[in-house]
Amino acid sequence: MWKDLEHSEGGGEPLSGAWTDGEHPKVILAEMASRPALAGHVIAFANEKGGVGKSTLAFHCAVALAHAGHRVIALDLDWRQSTLDRSLSFREGTARVLGAALPMPAHAVLTKPCTAQLYQEIARLDARADYIVLDAPGADCPIFRRAVAMADTLVTPINASFIDLQVLGQIDPITGRPGQSSCFGAMVAGLRRERHRSGFGPIDWLVAKNRVRQTERRQIGRIDTALATLAEQQDFRIGRGLTERVAYRELLQFGLTHLDLPLLPENARANKSTLTEIDGLLKQLALDGPGALCVSTAAPQVRSSPRVRAAYREALAAAL
């Protein structure tokens, strides 16, 4: 799958040199080589553009893998937003209040965005985890690059617009012809090549159309054509994220996904189409392990008072 390109297509800059702040891919891979090898498969969610639903995808992926019986670590690398970590903290609160046996990824937020703390947190949470989910910040920075470099699977969510495609590379919206790679595309290419040369193996890059609305069907055809052109140029797979649904946003404030609703029998039933989307997201990652989702049987947390539980269930029912 990986291609050893020395230059980006369309007359772009060489991909093997240092970035504008002087950091070279070799520096990042040398840091990785100096650390203990990770036992788990690293899945990094990264896009330099915000507002694409990156943390929501990372959350659903981590929870789905936990439902499938895997040992999962979820690390939030954006301490300013901490969306992934807060969502998983809400999940712990829901489990305690309702006494529900929710599959729970181990999680933390990286308060000092450096390589040393990243590896330390992985070792502290679970050195034998099957999967390590990294939610990168929404802008280029040293810890962002390290998340990409560590990824066995890189997931880049994008919205269905030509403006959002610019984060991958330049493409003419009239002719559909590609130009040079974007800064992000060039960075990924450089790190993929350096990983290969350093013996770390390939990065499987999945670009997922996310938060797509039903009203965007006419636009989707043009986006698909443009994405196919960029995929050929930059060697990534094209996938689908989660559609734009109120149900995802409303459950997220409780740290829940539709996979959890069967464990909360007094609340609404899970929507079949949302379950299909979440299952499809996991299958697109092409990971080893069980293909079907199966709920784990963790012991319930300590229950809260009946009054608190009733108020919580009322708020959850209103959201559903």
The number of domains in the chain is 1
User: Cα dist. 115→22, 109, 110, 112, 249 in Å?
Assistant: 18, 13, 10, 9, 32
**Residue 288: pLDDT over 70:** no
**CA count, 13 A, side-chain hemisphere, 183:** 11
- For residue 3, name the pLDDT band (cuts at 50, 70, 90): very low
Measured between alpha carbons, how far is 78 from 50 in angstroms, rounded to an integer? 12
Tell me what the pLDDT averaged over the chain comes to. 83
* pLDDT (average), residues 16-28: 71
Residue 18 within any structural domain of the chain: no
Which residues 6+ apart lie within 8 Å of 77 measured at CB? 110, 113, 118, 134, 135, 136, 137, 143, 144, 147
pTM over 0.95: no
**Residue 312: pLDDT over 80:** no
Residue 7 within any structural domain of the chain: no
Q: What is the pLDDT of residue 295?
A: 41
Q: What are phi and psi of 16, to 5 degrees?
A: -100, -5
CATH no. for residue 77? 3.40.50.300
User: Which of 41-55, 101-115, 171-185 bottoms out in mean pLDDT, i.e. has the lowest?
Assistant: 171-185
Q: What is the pLDDT of residue 293?
A: 43
Measured between alpha carbons, how far is 138 from 129 in angstroms, rounded to an integer? 25
**Residue 294: pLDDT over 80:** no
Quote the DSSP letter at residue 262. Answer: G
Q: What residue numbers bound the domain in which 277 lies?
A: 25-319
**Residue 215: pLDDT over 70:** no
236 three-state secondary structure: coil
Q: What is the pLDDT of residue 277?
A: 87
Residue 8 within any structural domain of the chain: no
* pLDDT (average), residues 81-94: 93
Residue 9 within any structural domain of the chain: no
Q: What is the pLDDT of residue 263?
A: 87
Q: What is the pLDDT of residue 265?
A: 67
- Residue-wise pLDDT tens digits, 149-202: 999 999 999 887 888 888 888 877 677 677 777 889 999 999 999 999 999 999
Residue 144 within any structural domain of the chain: yes
- For residue 256, name the pLDDT band (cuts at 50, 70, 90): very high
Residue 11 within any structural domain of the chain: no
* pLDDT (average), residues 108-118: 92
- Residue-wise pLDDT tens digits, 227-239: 898 999 899 999 9
User: Which of 78-82, 210-214, 266-270 bottoms out in mean pLDDT, i.e. has the lowest?
Assistant: 266-270
Residue 50 within any structural domain of the chain: yes
Residue 107 within any structural domain of the chain: yes
